[in-house]
């Protein structure tokens, strides 16, 4: 298959493209929008739903050891006290002396001095500001302060300290308090996981890079509970041999962002992680490269340095994607130990211990938490598949068929009733078979192909006169492949079966 020439967009081009196609736009644009809030349009929501469905299929439906849930966004405030978010879920904020402009301190230092700042504390930031006499548009800064990122609201009509509530800043804390109940109703045995997809809210000091850092976003999170004294039976040889580009904590400590190629097995040997952590890191990395279609060279695994670790973490690895603005976190994977269950047990005064039948041991299980942001996944997959095809003169979104908003476009060659009637029937038959399709009869067929390419439609069907006239091609239509623009003829009655096989990857276009 001819490889499409890849010319990657800048973040500005990418943003314009997403808005133009109605994938994503500012929330309440007619009122000037609101920084950090976005709406997904008709095609954007389809892509987002497909990404979530793929995740759910892979990590819930196809696994006997993982169960789904959908927790409430607002919950008892004690959850957030127990989890540590009320006290510690904060970023450092710089405020200018006169205009009181607020900047996220680590981002400001990183952008101005071009040095890695992950995990820097207030004291270090203050001393860098003094040492380099840093200012913002000529203004000096006040002392750096902590800013809690949780949105606060009130439940019920009476405002008092008990009515305070928070919009959840992560979906994880909807899972931990349910751990016992879900284990019981699902008759789960260790190790097992609970997965949830849902909204999270963070009052980011400076939202930026389009939907990458927004104030309302979605997370796909898994809490995988295990007994740290038991052997992990999950890790396969293939997973151990998974090759990765790796940025170690040691290199970052030396202010270096040099990566090395290594394997999951080597990380294990170096005791950087335990086997459950290794299993999930390999599982997600391979899912991204093998099933979703990210190029190996566009992903890296970054180890968190000690000072950067979240309050709950015993070790964290990010899977970073190479966005137009550089490598940044798409998925975070922390070993949370039994910090959360311990905290919730202590604060709720309810026993959360679990009996591990295999080891005949009662314990508070430990947990590995893969956490993937839907918006960051969305941005990465669109960036990965965006091709400005100069020969064709249009953008081609080379989306995997299962992620594409429409699988098929159906066109009559020209807008004549004898053709539109057949095309309409084909379109209706396809959607009846649950194949998402669109019907388009306006403009030249070339224009319609270009429009289909731009929204990532893998296949287009065109009904021409050969289809309705006597002859060898009677009852057949053309099917065009997005990536090669190659066309083949197929019998109308075979269309849905062939398309389903093409989407599932059981059949290749060139073998038709």
Contacting positions for ligand ATP (CB under 6 A): 170, 202, 204, 213-214, 217, 219, 329-332, 371-373, 375-376
Q: Which is nearer to ligand ATP, 90 or 492 (CB)?
A: 90
* Residue whose beta carbon is closest to ligand ATP: 373
Within the chain, how many helices (H) and strands (E) appear?
A: 18, 25
Q: Which is nearer to ligand ATP, 343 or 476 (CB)?
A: 343
Q: Which is nearer to ligand ATP, 336 or 407 (CB)?
A: 336
Q: Which is nearer to ligand ATP, 204 or 453 (CB)?
A: 204
Q: How far apart are CA 501 and CA 512, in angstroms?
A: 11
Q: Is 271 left (phi over 0), alpha (psi -120 to 50) or beta?
A: left
**Nearest Cα to 404, choosing from 432, 379, 385?**
385
What are the residues facing 328 on neighbouring strands?
Answer: 321
Q: Which is nearer to ligand ATP, 300 or 448 (CB)?
A: 300
Evaluate the CA torsion angle 169, 172, 178, 180 in order and state its sign: negative
Neighbours of 140 (CB within 10 A): 12
Helix (H) / strand (E) containing 396: strand 394-397
Evaluate the CA torsion angle 502, 504, 505, 511 in order and state its sign: negative
Q: Which is nearer to ligand ATP, 329 or 464 (CB)?
A: 329
Give the shortest CB-192-to-ligand ATP separation in angstroms.
21
Give the shortest CB-220-to-ligand ATP separation in angstroms.
9
Q: Are 270 and 256 in contact (CB under 8 A)?
A: no
Give the shortest CB-330-to-ligand ATP separation in angstroms.
6
Q: Which is nearer to ligand ATP, 273 or 437 (CB)?
A: 273
How far from the centroid of its chain's Cα atoms is residue 226's Cα? 25
Q: Which is nearer to ligand ATP, 213 or 277 (CB)?
A: 213
User: Which two structure tokens, joined as six digits, stand for 466?
Assistant: 């050969």
What are the residues facing 16 on neighbouring strands?
Answer: none
Q: Which is nearer to ligand ATP, 177 or 332 (CB)?
A: 332
Q: Which is nearer to ligand ATP, 240 or 336 (CB)?
A: 336
Helix (H) / strand (E) containing 4: none
Give the shortest CB-271-to-ligand ATP separation in angstroms.
23
Give the shortest CB-293-to-ligand ATP separation in angstroms.
18
Q: Are 50 and 404 in contact (CB under 8 A)?
A: yes
Q: How far apart are CA 323 and CA 269, in angstroms?
A: 31
Give the shortest CB-482-to-ligand ATP separation in angstroms.
28
DSSP letters for 308-368:
GS-TT-S-EEEEEEEETTEEEEEEEEEEEETHHHHHHHHHH-----EEETTTTEEE--EEE
Q: Are 380 and 294 in contact (CB under 8 A)?
A: yes
Give the shortest CB-146-to-ligand ATP separation in angstroms.
15
- In the three-class reduction of DSSP (H, G, I as helix; E, B as strand; rest coil), residue 222 is classed as strand
Give the shortest CB-169-to-ligand ATP separation in angstroms.
8
User: Which two structure tokens, joined as six digits, stand for 48?
Assistant: 């987002």
Give the shortest CB-371-to-ligand ATP separation in angstroms.
4
Q: Are 50 and 403 in contact (CB under 8 A)?
A: yes
Q: How far apart are CA 211 and CA 201, in angstroms?
A: 13
Give the shortest CB-377-to-ligand ATP separation in angstroms.
7
Q: Which is nearer to ligand ATP, 116 or 332 (CB)?
A: 332
Give the shortest CB-191-to-ligand ATP separation in angstroms.
22
């Amino acid at each position: 298959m001819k490889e499409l020439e890849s010319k990657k967009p800048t973040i500005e081009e990418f943003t314009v493209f997403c808005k133009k196609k109605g994938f994503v736009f500012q929330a309440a644009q007619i009122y000037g929008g609101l920084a950090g809030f976005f709406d997904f349009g008709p095609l954007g929501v389809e892509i987002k739903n497909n990404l979530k469905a793929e995740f759910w299929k892979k990590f819930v439906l196809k696994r006997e050891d993982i169960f789904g849930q959908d927790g409430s966004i607002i919950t008892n405030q004690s959850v957030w006290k127990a989890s540590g978010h009320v006290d510690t879920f904060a970023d450092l904020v710089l405020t200018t002396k006169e205009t009181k402009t607020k900047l996220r301190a680590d981002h400001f230092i990183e952008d101005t001095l071009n040095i890695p700042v992950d995990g820097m504390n207030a004291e270090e930031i203050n001393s860098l500001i003094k040492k380099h006499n840093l200012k913002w548009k000529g203004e000096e800064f006040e002392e750096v302060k902590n800013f809690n990122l949780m949105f606060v609201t009130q439940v019920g009509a009476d405002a008092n300290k008990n009515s305070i509530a928070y919009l959840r800043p992560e979906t994880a804390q909807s899972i931990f308090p349910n751990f016992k109940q879900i284990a019981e109703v699902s008759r789960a045995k260790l190790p097992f996981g609970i997965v949830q997809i849902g909204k999270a809210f963070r009052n980011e000091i400076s939202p930026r890079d389009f939907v990458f850092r927004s104030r309302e976003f979605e997370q796909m999170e898994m809490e995988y509970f295990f007994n740290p004294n038991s052997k992990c039976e999950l890790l396969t040889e293939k997973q151990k041999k998974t090759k990765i580009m790796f940025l170690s904590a040691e290199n970052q400590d030396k202010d270096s962002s040099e990566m090395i190629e290594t394997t999951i097995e080597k990380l294990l040997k170096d005791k950087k992680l335990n086997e459950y952590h290794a299993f999930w890191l390999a599982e997600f990395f391979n899912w991204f490269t093998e099933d979703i279609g990210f190029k190996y060279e566009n992903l890296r695994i970054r180890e968190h340095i000690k000072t950067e670790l979240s309050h709950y973490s015993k070790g964290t690895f990010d899977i970073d994607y190479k966005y137009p603005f550089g490598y940044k976190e798409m998925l975070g994977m922390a070993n949370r130990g039994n910090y959360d269950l311990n905290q919730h047990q202590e604060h709720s005064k309810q026993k959360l211990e679990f009996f591990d039948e295999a080891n005949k041991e009662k314990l508070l299980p430990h947990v590995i938490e893969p956490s993937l942001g839907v918006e960051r996944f969305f941005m990465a997959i669109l960036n990965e598949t965006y091709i400005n095809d100069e020969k064709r003169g249009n953008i081609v979104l080379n989306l995997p068929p299962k992620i594409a908003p429409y699988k098929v476009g159906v066109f009559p060659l020209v807008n004549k009733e004898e053709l539109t009637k057949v095309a309409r029937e084909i379109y209706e038959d396809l959607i009846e078979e649950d194949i998402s399709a669109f019907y388009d009869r306006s403009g030249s067929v070339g224009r319609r192909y270009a429009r289909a390419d731009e929204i990532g439609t893998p296949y287009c069907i065109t009904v021409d006169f050969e289809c309705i006239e006597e002859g060898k091609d009677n009852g057949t239509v053309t099917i065009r492949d997005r990536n090669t623009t190659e066309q083949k003829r197929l019998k109308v009655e075979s269309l849905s079966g062939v398309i389903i096989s093409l989407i599932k990857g059981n059949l290749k276009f060139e073998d038709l």
